[in-house]
Amino acid sequence: MDEAWTRAKGVFAALAGPPVVWLAVFFLIPLGVIWGYSFGENASLTHIAVNGTFANYAHAIRPLYLGIIVKSLCFAGLTTVLCLLIGFPVAIAITFASQKTKAWLLLLIMLPFWTNLLIRTYALMAVLRTEGYVNQALGFLWNGAGRIAAVFGQSIGTFTPLELLHNNFAVVFGLVYVQLPFMVLPLYAALDRLDRSLLEASLDLGASQLTTFRRVVIPLALPGIISGVLVTLIPSIGAYLTPDLLGGPSSMMIANVIERQFKTANDWPFGAALSFMLMYMTFIAIAVQAVVSRGRQARAT
Amino acid sequence: MTTPAKTIIQFENVTKRFGKMIAVDDVRLSINEGEFFALLGPSGCGKTTLLRMLAGFETPSAGRILIDGEDISRIPPNRRPVNMVFQSYAVFPHMTVADNVAYGLTIEKVAAPERARRVEEALALVKLDGLGGRKPDQLSGGQRQRVALARALIKRPRVLLLDEPLSALDAKLREQMRSELAQLQDKVGITFLIVTHDQDEALAMASRCAVMNRGLLQQVATPGDLYEFPNSRFVADFIGSVNMFEGRLLVDEHDRAVIETSELPTKVYLDHGVTGAHASTVWVALRPEKIELHKRGQGTPPPDLEDAPANHNLAAGVIRQITYLGSESVYDVEVTGGRTLRALRSNLTRRDQEDFVCDEPVWLAWHACSPAVLLS
């Protein structure tokens, strides 16, 4: 079976050819160009001379930029953890819902994909801003509490709206909001594949629901958890729109800095170097992981 | 068994509804300690629901379930003194065989040395010695089932529940596991409650069976009684193969009964009365192996039946089909009037299969004690 394609080489080439060409022309070549720029410098306003300099990288590892990269990683990490904590119960609820409810719940999870990210982010601003719905609701409750307090001759003062927008909180909140479906779907896929009788067997053998979750559900859902974490973490690190619109002056993430280099600062070589910093870090992480898992395999056998 | 049997499980008027569907309908059933009890019925008859209610995965809509006299209807599955072998085996794929078997003891926080000893014991019991380090995907289906068995037995349950345990095995292995399960039950002395749709399985292993249909308990009896003394057309038809006729009760006295049926050229004579017959319509069930084949040709007189009057329990026919099964042959015989009866004949010698040929005229005959009369 798995050698079938080697026998029909022509068919294989015909099928695999177009995507390979597409990837090469529109992904690998532009990526290579940017990579080349990262070793160059601005020769004039419109011309970049690729002269093999490492100056851009030297610039990129200065504390200011490293700090922003680290902050981006922290935001993305926090987003991923929150998505996992919120997404797991949601995925479980969908898995155990009746067939009919399940379809509706999945539709609800995917509904945001039909709205443009920009629109959704502006909607979130309407919710979080000083006169937004959250503050309105809180103000309403506060005034109610104030009236009750007045009955007892107490005063709790006037309501000061919470600053929910243009800070780090807003960025993480927005990222969780955007990324949650990407966490829920792989988790749901993993949980849905889980044989229910395994859960029943665990209960039958005396385990509580919590123990069953810990010893059976989590280990068996691990592939789903890993892919959920990856598809949440990676886009979060490079998030651009969310920190740009919801963040304050100090919540800039690496993508915002890169954007500035390419646009306002017109320093493409430095922007390219910053872009590739993330890529190098990913490669290093993958390499480390490969070495570690190979070591573990070697020990296991 | 000489000591009076002690009841271990009691279903008291248990009903289970799923929406409008009634899966289990007012079931009353007692199972004794040490029994190998089978719940038998076609798929969708409610037998699995009954088992799952006992395990705690379903809650009865009405009625009570008692184990050792204690109502367990509201006790969660993880605190019931029963353990289950699942149809899919439900062996945890991410654990080794030993970890699977030890699971229940780990939850109970049994100390490691005792746990290891009992795991070894349990693995030996199901003949999986030395395979403790394997992962489930390195085992055959039969071995995975043994893991599931060991995992449930190690908890020393009051009752071991088995949900269609043999359905996923191939024919040869199924037969082997049948006798092994019976031996195992003998060895550990635990009450076994097995759910199956396979009548052979139930008859071969169980000490007592309950036949279910559409949520109702049809008959509870030993395998022998189920086969020879079914109480309804459903049971007679479900267990084994049967020739069934609708008829009218002509004579019903304490030592004899005569039934007339339009499907047979002769009347059916019985050497006992039919108790409880209020209507005159009854059904006669006649097992194929209880029908004798006799030669019928020019000058051959009809066989003499000592226990029935002349022209009773005798039908002339022609063999239409012979199915040779090795140990026996099945003869489909068309009798006068058009109905086809099935007769079974053991091939006692190597020449027996040559006695009759297709399209040969024959007499079918049976004894006065062979037909079962059914009222419903």
Number of domains observed in the structure of chain B: 2
Q: Is the pLDDT of residue A169 over 80?
A: yes
A207 interfacial to chain B (CB closer than 8 Å): yes
pLDDT at A28: 94
Tell me the C-alpha to C-alpha distance, in Å, between residue B244 and each of B103, B262, B365. 51, 12, 15
Q: How far apart are CA A47 and CA A133, in angstroms?
A: 49
- Find out whether B236 and B229 touch, Cβ atoms under 8 Å: no
CATH of residue B322's domain is: 2.40.50.140
pLDDT at A45: 80
Choose the final residue of a domain: B212, B235, B258: B235
Within this chain, do residues B186 and B286 fall inside the same structural domain, yes or no? no
A198 interfacial to chain B (CB closer than 8 Å): yes
Tell me, rounded to whole angstroms, the distance of Cα B242 from its chain centroid. Answer: 15
Q: How far apart are CA A84 and CA A101, in angstroms?
A: 22
Within this chain, do residues B154 and B278 fall inside the same structural domain, yes or no? no
Within this chain, do residues B326 and B253 fall inside the same structural domain, yes or no? yes
- Which residues of A fall within a CB distance of 8 Å from B122? none
Q: How far apart are CA B163 and CA B120, in angstroms?
A: 25
Tell me the C-alpha to C-alpha distance, in Å, between residue B16 and each of B21, B54, B59, B80, B180. 9, 12, 8, 19, 33
- Which residues of A fall within a CB distance of 8 Å from B49? none
**Rounded to a whole number, what is the distance in Å from the CA of A240 to chain B's nearest CA?**
40
Other Cβ atoms closer than 10 A to A163: 14
What residue has token string 């000591």? B3
The token pair that represents A38 in the structure block: 């990262």
Of B77, B88, B108, the CB nearest to A203: B77
Within this chain, do residues B280 and B224 fall inside the same structural domain, yes or no? no
Residue B1 pLDDT class (50, 70, 90 cuts) = very low
Which residues have a Cβ under 8 Å from the Cβ of A190 and sit 6 or more positions away? A220, A221, A222, A223, A224, A225
Choose the final residue of a domain: B178, B212, B235: B235
The DSSP secondary-structure symbol of A114 reads G
pLDDT at A155: 82
- Which residues of B fall within a CB distance of 8 Å from A202? 92, 103
Residue B188 lies in a domain: yes
Choose the final residue of a domain: B179, B210, B235: B235
Q: How far apart are CA A130 and CA A163, in angstroms?
A: 6
**In which domain, by residue range, is B86 found?**
7-235
* Helix extents (H) in B21-140: 47-55, 97-107, 112-125
What sign results for the dihedral spanned by CA atoms B310, B315, B317, B319?
Answer: negative
Residue A301 pLDDT class (50, 70, 90 cuts) = low
Whole-angstrom Cα Rg for chain A: 25
CATH of residue B212's domain is: 3.40.50.300
- A255-261: Cβ within 8 A, 24+ apart: A255/A72, A257/A65, A257/A68
Residue B152 pLDDT class (50, 70, 90 cuts) = very high
The DSSP secondary-structure symbol of B353 reads G
Which segments within chain B are labelled E, that is strand? 7-18, 21-32, 36-40, 62-67, 70-71, 82-85, 159-163, 191-196, 208-213, 216-221, 243-253, 256-260, 268-270, 281-286, 292-295, 314-324, 328-335, 340-346, 361-365, 372-374
Yes or no, beta carbons of B84 and A204 under 8 Å apart: yes
Closest CA in chain A for residue B161: A204
The token pair that represents B363 in the structure block: 């007499």
Closest CA in chain A for residue B99: A215
Yes or no, beta carbons of A206 and B152 under 8 Å apart: no
Tell me, rounded to whole angstroms, the distance of Cα A199 from its chain centroid. Answer: 30
CATH code for residues A66-129+164-300: 1.10.3720.10
Helix axis angle for B141-153 and B112-125, nearest 10°, is 130
Q: How far apart are CA A203 and CA B219, in angstroms?
A: 32
**Rounded to a whole number, what is the distance in Å from the CA of A207 to chain B's nearest CA?**
6
Q: Is the pLDDT of residue A1 over 80?
A: no
For residue range B245-279, list pLDDT tens digits in order: 888 888 888 888 888 888 888 888 888 888 766 66
**Start-to-end CA span in chain A (Å):** 29
- Which residues of B fall within a CB distance of 8 Å from A208? 78
Helix axis angle for A99-110 and A63-96, nearest 10°, is 160
Among A252-256, B265-269, B289-293, where is mean pLDDT lowest?
Answer: B265-269
Yes or no, beta carbons of A198 and B90 under 8 Å apart: yes
Within this chain, do residues B318 and B210 fall inside the same structural domain, yes or no? no
Average pLDDT over every residue of A170-194 = 94
Average pLDDT over every residue of B40-67 = 92
**Rounded to a whole number, what is the distance in Å from the CA of A89 to chain B's nearest CA?**
22
For residue range B64-123, list pLDDT tens digits in order: 999 999 999 889 999 999 999 999 999 999 999 999 999 999 999 999 999 999 999 999
Within this chain, do residues B271 and B299 fall inside the same structural domain, yes or no? yes
Of A198, A205, A219, the CB nearest to B107: A205
Q: Which of B297, B314, B316 is nearest to B306 (CA)?
A: B314
Q: Is the pLDDT of residue B4 over 90?
A: no
For residue range A7-40, list pLDDT tens digits in order: 778 888 888 889 999 999 999 999 999 999 999 9
Q: Which of B141, B77, B129 is nearest to B101 (CA)?
A: B129
Within this chain, do residues B150 and B278 fall inside the same structural domain, yes or no? no
3-state secondary structure (DSSP) of residue B77:
helix
Within this chain, do residues B220 and B281 fall inside the same structural domain, yes or no? no
User: Per CB distance under 8 Å, which residues of B are interface residues toward A?
Assistant: 55-57, 76-79, 82-84, 86-88, 90, 92-94, 103-104, 107-108, 148, 151-152, 155
Which segments within B45-164 are labelled E, that is strand? 62-67, 70-71, 82-85, 159-163
Of B76, B86, B107, the CB nearest to A211: B107
- Which residues of B fall within a CB distance of 8 Å from A195? 88, 90
The token pair that represents A64 in the structure block: 């200011």
Average pLDDT over every residue of B7-13 = 93
Residue B1 lies in a domain: no
Within this chain, do residues B89 and B169 fall inside the same structural domain, yes or no? yes
ipTM of the complex as predicted: 0.83
Q: Is the pLDDT of residue B352 over 70?
A: yes
Within this chain, do residues B15 and B122 fall inside the same structural domain, yes or no? yes
Q: How far apart are CA B160 and CA B147, in angstroms?
A: 14
Within this chain, do residues B22 and B168 fall inside the same structural domain, yes or no? yes
For residue range A125-154, list pLDDT tens digits in order: 999 988 889 999 999 999 888 888 888 888
Within this chain, do residues B343 and B248 fall inside the same structural domain, yes or no? yes
CA atoms within 13 A on the CB side of B185: 22
Instruction: Give the H or E element holding residue A139.
Output: helix A133-151
Residue B2 lies in a domain: no
**Rounded to a whole number, what is the distance in Å from the CA of A82 to chain B's nearest CA?**
27
- Which residues of A fall within a CB distance of 8 Å from B90? 195, 197-198, 200-201
Residue B319 pLDDT class (50, 70, 90 cuts) = very high
Helix axis angle for A254-262 and A268-300, nearest 10°, is 140
Yes or no, beta carbons of A203 and B78 under 8 Å apart: yes
The token pair that represents B103 in the structure block: 């699971």
**Which pTM value belongs to this model?**
0.80
**Rounded to a whole number, what is the distance in Å from the CA of A211 to chain B's nearest CA?**
8
Residue type at A155 in one-letter notation: S
